Structure 1
């Protein structure tokens, strides 16, 4: 496996960090969203950037998944974290940011909380929800890991990301 494919599937080497390589691999989309929020970017810019990271993660897994399994000598190797990048990107998509122009709506944070702090807390909540669901792998995510190659590496994380997104969307809209 070449250097570029290795960097792609390990998210620039994050997959080699221990412990909890999946947690390290989930950080790039959360950090990206946080930086864009700090920079005052509108929701659609955040979503476009997250869609790009989602696409990169998916392409890396699908294109280099079989090679990764061969290189690391096992199915769904822990060093491969491009799937976490993709799943975490889904978990943070289309959130109703407070005080930020967003096509998915906006929310009003509690009176004693600034919009920026509220938004960063949503990113943290999305990060934690995704990690919990990715680790627990509730159905149907647990069954789809049996798929071979890149799809087997990727699909369970996409489902965990979609579950985290659904929970966060409902919670934010009901509570706020």
Structure 2
């Protein structure tokens, strides 16, 4: 007699944890930093779009540095490999340098969201972006199709992950509502601007 095939969809009744969506809210832990926190779990797009020209410059230097170092080593101590072999080495060093350059740019940008480095420009950009969203009636952190509980799960998976980017590159691609800041400031600023617009 053939063994019964296990069900592909597990019952929420049997596995009640799968159906729970009302677990307690877990707030983001505050860090003792020299600058204000902007976002404890910024979306990938925000981190890249908020990057400064100096971040891209540092990234470009690192990108060019890898292949340049390989050429310099080849010049002072020839490897005597064939041309196709050396081309493979250059492609590999270029690929590694490209990844390292991107991670450097991302690390520098996300540290400003955490308040780990000077972030006056990013604070102003964040306030402008969020205030405009409030005035347009849009969700602050984008539309999400996930439950509140799953948004919390997503947040806890990548919260402050930028500090460990050199160990495990881990990014937030999820729109959720848990970012470790009091969003009331955006609504207050939007109200002030709307009152000013009505008064003028």
Common fold by TM > 0.5: no
TM-score (norm 1): 0.26
Higher relative contact order (CA 8 A, sep 6+): 2
Q: Identify the structure with the greater helix proportion.
A: 1
> Rg: which structure is higher?
2
TM-score (norm 2): 0.23
